[in-house]
Each structure stands twice: as structure tokens, then as C-alpha cells.
Structure 1
Amino acid sequence: MAVIGVGIDVCDIERFGASLARTPGLRVRLFTEAERTRAVASLAARFAAKEALAKALGAPRGMAWHDCEIVNESSGRPRFALRGTVAAAVEAAGAQHVHLSLSHDAGVASAMVVLES
């Protein structure tokens, strides 16, 4: 296996929360129904994850936000549930494994994605 893409993104939690409050439709546009129920810090980390995945893929056009959902395994470990446009981009890149790490502390949410063949 080889690394074929790496992406990282950070998000200021307070600023992201203000954006969600100012533009209520943003929550619906960016997140699936299941994701929308989470706290602002978790949403900021999930937004960072979606951005990090796009960066790892080379930011291809046409990917839909809802085609990339961050879910948690029973252990609590986050992972991507990919479908549609995003699944197609991951497949086109030749990625067999998509690794995800999320964090939020000191007012900043971050995510790192590694694509592996």
C-alpha cells in the first residue's frame, strides 16, 4: 500500500458557530440529517474533515457535501461513509483506504485525511 493523498484542515469553532447562526441553511447544505444533531465543535471538526478529504483528492469539482458523511464506529472512532460523487472521486483516485483523524481543542477543530492505495 502507498499513500496517494494527504489533506488537513482547521476550523475556528466560534467563527463556524457564528456562520451557522447567521446562515441557518448552511447546516442543511453542509451536513446530513444525522450530522446536524451534533454540537458546534463536532460540526466544525466534520466540516474540516470534508475539506481535508477534498484536499487529499486534489479538490475535484462536483463533489456533493452530503455524499461525504462522518460517522462513528461503536468504539467512537470516526470514519467516512462515502457515496455518490465523493465515492466516485475516491475510486478514481485509486484509494482503497481512507484514514481520518478529528480533534477539537482550544477553540479550533482539525481533521487529517490520508488516502492509501
Structure 2
Amino acid sequence: MSTGAIAGIGTDLLRVERIERIHARHGDRFVRRILGPEEQVVHQRRQARDPRRGILYLATRFAAKEAFSKAIGLGIHMPMTWSRAQILNRPGGAPEIRLSGPLADWYAVRFGQAHVSMTDETDMVAAFVVIEALPPGPHSKEDIA
């Protein structure tokens, strides 16, 4: 259910070469730190087909998680961690944010639906996230405070 009220907005713009440099230095350790388990599977498939597609996937997910962390007002601080927020594609291809662990619990009592949009070019990626407010009711943050 959509409330129409916006609780947060976040955006991130990132040079792909930054992710390339970090990936070249740290390899799979960086991938495991940034991507959740389901994202890692997608990344491996894309990386195997074309290393450039793997880097762009990693860069767009990095930017989307940065934008999400800004929209919820935490930055990358607990309970927000890179791997607890996965950006996966619905069957039709649209991206969605799936949360897990303590981040999912923390988010559920504070916010409604999250919307994410990502784009990539040869040298840049961008992400934009809009967080809806919770609909009025027993789970809104006013009732928890």
C-alpha cells in the first residue's frame, strides 16, 4: 500500500573507475563485502559472460545502497550494512530493494515501501531512492516512540 508521503530521498553518482580500482585491489573480498548472497550469484554470472558487465553490476549496486542509506538517514552505520540491503530485479526487470536481518526489522517499524532507480553509462553510474512513510496505524513510528 502506498501512502504517497515521502519519508526520505537519497541519490548517489559514482565513477565506474573507482569501483574498478577497488575491485582490482581487493577482488572477491570486496564483492562479498558489498553484495548480499543473491546479488553475488547474479554478479558471478555477469562477470563470467563479460567482466565489464560484472563491474557495472557491482557499481550500480554500490550506488543504490549508498542512495538507500542516505534516504533512511543512517549512512553505512548499524543496522545498515552493505549485504543486508540487496538490489535485485523483479521478474519484469524492475529493481527492488530487499532487506534482511536487523536492518529489515529496523526498517519495518519506520518506513513504508522503498523505490529504487539505477542507470549506468560507460564511466558513470547513478542511483535514486525514494522511501515512503508508513501508513497511519499501529506500526507507525509515532506509536512506537
Residue of structure 2 in register with 1:71 after alignment: 88
TM-score by length of 1: 0.90
1:3 to 2:12 alignment = no
Give the percent of matched residue pairs that are identical in Structure 1 and Structure 2. Answer: 33
Between the aligned partners of 2:107 and 2:8, the Cα distance in structure 1 is 10
Give secondary structure in 2 for the equivalent of 1:58.
Answer: coil
Using the size of structure 2 for normalisation, the TM-score is: 0.73
Which of 83, 87, 90 does residue 107 from structure 2 map onto?
A: 90
Structure (1 or 2) with the greater strand fraction: 1
Equivalent of residue 53 in structure 1, options 45, 65, 68: 68
> Which piece of structure 1 moves more, 28-37 or 2-11?
28-37
Q: Secondary structure at the match of 1:88?
A: helix
- Is 1:35 aligned with 2:39? yes
Report Cα offsets for 1:34-53 as digits up to 9, x if no partner. Answer: 32324111110100011111
Q: Distance in 2 between matches of 1:12 and 1:58?
A: 23
For the structure 1 residues 56 and 20, does the alpha-carbon distance in structure 2 shift closer, same or farther, using more than 3 Å as the test? same
Q: CA RMSD in A?
A: 1.5
Q: Deviations over 1:51-97 (max 9, x none)?
A: 111000112521222111111011110001111132233224x2111
Paired residues, number: 116
Tell me, yes or no, if the aligned pair for 1:7 and 1:54 is still in contact at 8 Å.
yes
The alignment partner of 2:92 has SS state of coil
- Which blocks of at least 5 consecutive residues in structure 1 are unaligned? none
Report which of the two has the higher share of helix.
2
Q: How many angstroms apart in 1 are the aligned matches of 2:30 and 2:6?
A: 33
Answer with 83-92 or 6-15: which moved more.
Answer: 83-92
